[in-house]
Chain A
Amino acid sequence: MPTVKIPPVLRPRTGGESEVSSCGETVGAVLEALAEAHPDTREQLFSAEGELNRYVNVYLNDEDVRVLDGLETAVGGSDTVVILPAMAGGSGAPTLPTSFPR
């Protein structure tokens, strides 16, 4: 079964797990199975239309699925799917600015 690596920001939604096993023949199916098992992850992964959110990068092993076949990319049992949202932390601020001063 493929392994999914969960980024720190999503771990509260997977019960703290940093890696979960998730069934599926394609990247999309693996992520769908993850969202089934951990429903709180769904809204972070997929838009209302069921597309992968643009701010979430997904890699099959070390390759971005955007340069493969996207959610249709075939996944083998020993593959790893990495979910990676951007992180901005440099360590310090209690709050994020909501817009940038002009």
Chain B
Amino acid sequence: MATAADQIRHRIELISLDRAREEIASGTKLIDVRERTEWDESHIEGAEHVPQGDLVERIDELAPDRSERLLLHCRTDNRSVRMADELERLGYDNVAAVEGGIVAWEAAGLPTRSDSGLTADQRMRYSRHTLLAEVGVEGQLKMLNAKVLLLGAGGLGAPSALYLAAAGIGTLGIVDDDVVDASNLQRQVIHSTERIGISKATSARITIEALNPDVEVIEHNLRLDASNILELISEYDVIVDGADNFPTRYLLNDAAVRLRKAVVSASILGFDGQISTFAPYEGPCYRCLYPVPPPPELAPSCGANGVLGVMAGVMGLLQANEVIKLVAGIGEPLVGRLLLYESLGTRFTELKVKRDPQCPICGEDAAEITAEEIGRFPDYELFCGAPAREASPSAVQHVA
């Protein structure tokens, strides 16, 4: 026996998606009778939004001419059929409902818009982020609009870049002019065996593009030095430092303090890592923590000493975690704190780092660094405790 709803359904004209599209294109009014939250999540461009509870009250103003052609739609078509029936009772005689509603519309791959700013694909992709109250759509949009620069696509940069890309950081700049080597693959998970010999920045871009089309990767195949660092970092919101030499770290620090850019800095060796976030003038800078670099025998590189690949991954992901918090404006970044990780003992140690009033870069008496001083101040030759020799071809070619 037919129910009342069935009987109404038989009386109302239901039109196909194709027909609906034609009519919408030719100017027929489409009314979405769903609730506000449904509309915000996604809707058909050009539709009028009138929740079903308001429709009878507002229809005179929307369509004073009762012979006007009107299309109604909802999530499937139950509400739209019911509301079409209501309108017919009011004397509207040319009303149809779109069969299947927006569910069918989206299933057919037809475009929708969202007032939240996320596309339907993005709502799906980032749903596990947006479900988190602390992140939500707002936090996700901040990530999609963020520009993050990674110094190096190596032991730290590779895992960091991979997760930042997955998280939907909209622009990732990668500075690295090294090429993928077989010995990198034990930890630099963004690269692959078949890409041995190609540029690390390019290899990272290929992986990121396959992972998340929302992310734009900018390859910086340049020498990072005092002449270009200001211009380079000025384009970005947050810098991820995975450089493996002191000159680059001090150079970055000086430039970042000047431009007030936050730097998420980590370093790794053997089984141990350390990480901190340097937010200029809000907390200490790298020079407050390390006023002078150690001599070479106390600053071995991972190439000489070895490094546990997984430990590099842990530190790289802690960096990515810091970036997400800074970008979304949530949680407590590691500002004024240095976190040490010993992977053999699985121990974390947190140390306090204070701003140094005597810091030559961000201290009370520090004058703003001039462009000429960036990269020279106070004296980079002393960094390795040896007199200056022939300059390395590029500091950043040795990045992470």
Partner of B152, one of A64, A66, A92: A92
Count chain A CB atoms within 10 A of each CB in B225, B245, B267 and give the residue with the most.
B245
Other-chain contact of A8, B271, B338, B356 (Cβ < 8 Å): B271
Q: Is the CB of B345 within 8 A of A18?
A: yes
A72 to chain B, nearest CB (A): 18
- Asked whether A91 lies within 8 Å of B244 as measured between CB atoms, the reply is yes
Say yes or no: A100 contacts B395, CB within 8 Å: yes
- Partner among A18, A90, A95 whose Cβ is within 8 Å of the Cβ of B267: A90
Q: Given A9-B300, A82-B349, A91-B302, is A96 in contact with B245 using a C-beta cutoff of 8 Å? A: yes
Contacting residue for A67 out of B151, B246, B293, B354, CB 8 A: B354
CB-based nearest A residue for B267: A87
> Which of A55, A84, A92 contacts B244, CB < 8 Å?
A92
Q: How far is the CA of A80 from the CA of B251 in the complex (A)?
A: 33
Question: Contact flags (1/0) for B239-256 with A, using CB distance below 8 Å?
Answer: 001111111110100000
How many A-B residue pairs lie within 8 Å, measured between CB atoms?
Answer: 197
A98 is an interface residue with CB less than 8 A from chain B: yes
Q: Which of A7, A88, A91 contacts B155 (CB 8 A)?
A: A91
Q: Which residues of B contact A90 (CB under 8 A)?
A: 151-152, 154-157, 241-244, 266-268, 302, 399-400
Interface size class, chain B: 35 or more
The reply to whether B267 and A98 contact each other, CB–CB distance below 8 Å, is no
Q: In the complex, A102→B376 CA distance in Å?
A: 8
Q: Is the interface of A mostly helix, strand, loop or mixed?
A: loop
| B209 lies within 8 A of chain A by Cβ | no
| B270 part of interface (Cβ distance < 8 Å) | yes
Given A57-B289, A101-B392, A102-B226, do A91 and B294 touch, yes or no (CB 8 Å)?
Answer: no
Q: Which 9 A-B pairs have the closest CB atoms?
A: A91-B155, A90-B400, A97-B392, A93-B398, A100-B247, A90-B244, A94-B303, A86-B290, A91-B302
